[in-house]
Amino acid sequence: MPEKVPDIKHLKIVPLGAGQDVGRSCILITIGGKNVMVDCGMHMGYQDDRRFPDFSYIGGGGRLTDYLDCVIISHFHLDHCGSLPHMSEIVGYDGPIYMTYPTKAIAQVLLEDYRKVQCDIKGETNFFTSDDIKNCMKKCIGCALHEVIQVDDQLSIRAFYAGHVLGAAMFEIRVGDHSVLYTGDYNMTPDRHLGAARVLPGVRPTVLISESTYATTIRDSKRARERDFLRKVHESVMKGGKVIIPVFALGRAQELCILLESYWERMALTVPIYFSQGLAERANQYYRLFISWTNENIKKTFVERNMFEFKHIRPMEKGCEDMPGPQVLFSTPGMLHGGQSLKVFKKWCSDPINMIIMPGYCVAGTVGAKVINGEKRIEIDGKMHDIRLGVEYMSFSAHADAKGIMQLIRQCEPQHVMFVHGEAEKMEFLKGKVEKEYSVPVHMPANGETVSITAHPKLDIQVPMDQIEQSLNLDPNPAKQRCPFVADIVYDQETDTLNVMATGDNESLVDDDECMPITLSLSEIIRGRQIDWKRLAKELLAFDPHLQHKDDGIEMFPWGDHRAGEWRRRE
């Protein structure tokens, strides 16, 4: 029998979770005869088997190893990786699981924390064990940004920076000329500790699968939102109230801690600020280990001062929530679906002098979602609670808003767009906007609904260099052919424009208070027979005295006054 040729023209995509819903992200992609699962999350709004993706869709409910070529995890949030041990150890999967190095380090800790809450505190018995988590993580393979990983001779994957949380990545999945770019959760705007999502120029996926959590939202000015947050916290504690801010262990917690720390210092406030035990130690460990994933401001100051070592914010002391007087508490988890934040909320919710500030999205069915929706009586652990404290919902969520989603579509120019991880009505609105503005077909399947896409063939034409040079020489303007100058590239968030502003040799806009330095990625692949890493590392010490020489390369970034714009390549 002749060998069966894979169908490379047709792609099939089916959500097993996060189809017209937020929670348990899990998308099955078939491209060029290869089957790839991206994300394997858990739904926080359910406490039964509905919290897991519907794995019975794959191979009739048997082991998944023979069906899946690989699994990819975009980041460490539990709605994207929470079902991973269940999938690999209970359902059965022995193949490769790819994720970035920070995700690999952090996911194991968060999975074990969640298991302790479910089993040791809530007493669940039908749940994965510590051994399941350890065995699952042995199958996980770390990958670096922009590294092309050949899963087999036809299937390759590549990670791009997604912002959102430490280690979050978008993944390009490619077979032949066709590819799928899966965003996971991403943020197109830099924040106080992470950069903005970015893909390399020239990435043109056949299908872009994008989250759509905030598909109808265009956020207001971030500075105005921060001022409003600080004002409300300050007013509440001045009245003697207690303020609880539910957060997840890494990400938004660091963002808001940096904000409150600087405000407390500036205003000389003495009201205590606490955070869940272990939060700071954990954050310090991971941000120190993966400093190259943070934004330019954090990198710049990290040598002199660790931005995550706080003077005014300290670990939560036993019984501090019962102490009289005002206080601010950062507590996990962020959706009030269990743990310490729910325990403290039950104690504080009946006193109108207190306040809860919800800084991010909450999945339907969680206590957090009910609080945001304004419910005045909520059943928690079988007991009704009166909600009398002040409730504020301020989105500091590190998700792309409608403007950011449109920006990514404009950059990537995909043949098709698919929305997942969002509510159906919001998806429908953005779908119409994208189809009208970009004339691109948009899909928004429900869970279990298969989308079949026929890809357009691609044709690359080799143009001889002498033809290109001849065309350039025909241009009467010689300035277009050679024009060396020193400049800053300035991105204006208000107008969504990128401008090149010429500066003198000793001038720069980086020191301007109104400008915030951002990362601009320029990439080139250099091929050679052999690289002397030790010699190269020695040469590069002039630019980065703290570079790390590793077995497979060098990890570095410019420090102090060595900005990327000052580098020169010698021909």
Tell me which residues are annotated as active site.
Answer: 211
Q: Which residues, at least 6 apart from 102, have a Cβ–Cβ distance to it below 8 Å?
A: 76, 166, 167, 286, 289, 290, 293
Tally: H helices and E strands in the chain? 14, 26
User: Which residues are bridge partners to 104 per DSSP?
Assistant: none
Whole-angstrom Cα distance, residue 173 to residue 29? 9
> In terms of Cα–Cα distance, which of 377, 375, 371 is closest to 391?
371
Q: Which residue, 202, 158, 179, 155, is CA-closest to 13?
A: 179
Residue whose C-alpha is closest to residue 169's, from 126, 200, 138, 128: 200
DSSP summary character for residue 422:
S
Closest C-alpha to 488, from 468, 463, 518? 518
3-state secondary structure of 62: coil
Which tokens belong to 530? Answer: 């052999």
Among 376, 375, 355, 357, which Cα is nearest to 365's? 375
CB 330 within 8 A of CB 253: yes
Q: Which long-range contacts (CB under 8 A, 24 or more apart) does 559-566 make?
A: 559/299, 559/300, 559/303, 560/300, 560/303, 563/508, 563/510, 563/517, 564/520, 564/522, 565/486, 565/487, 565/488
Give percent helix, percent strand, percent coil of the chain, each to the nearest 5.
30, 20, 50
Q: What 3-state class would DSSP assign to 283?
A: helix
The CA distance from 221 to 229, in Å, is 13
**DSSP secondary structure string, 313-363?**
EEEPPTTGGGSSS-EEEEES-TT-SSHHHHHHHHHHTT-TT-EEEE-S---
Beta bridge partners of residue 276, listed in sequence order: none
Q: Which two tokens stand for residue 431?
A: 């779908």
**Whether the Cβ atoms of residue 38 and residue 27 lie closer than 8 Å to each other:** yes
Nearest to 80 by CA among 191, 152, 3, 164: 164
Rounded to an integer, what distance in angstroms lies between the CA atom of residue 280 and that of residue 492?
34
Contact 450, 232 (CB under 8 A): no
**340 vs 317: CA distance, rounded Å:** 12
Cα 439 to Cα 418: distance, rounded to the nearest angstrom: 14
CA nearest neighbour of 76 among 39, 43, 44 = 39
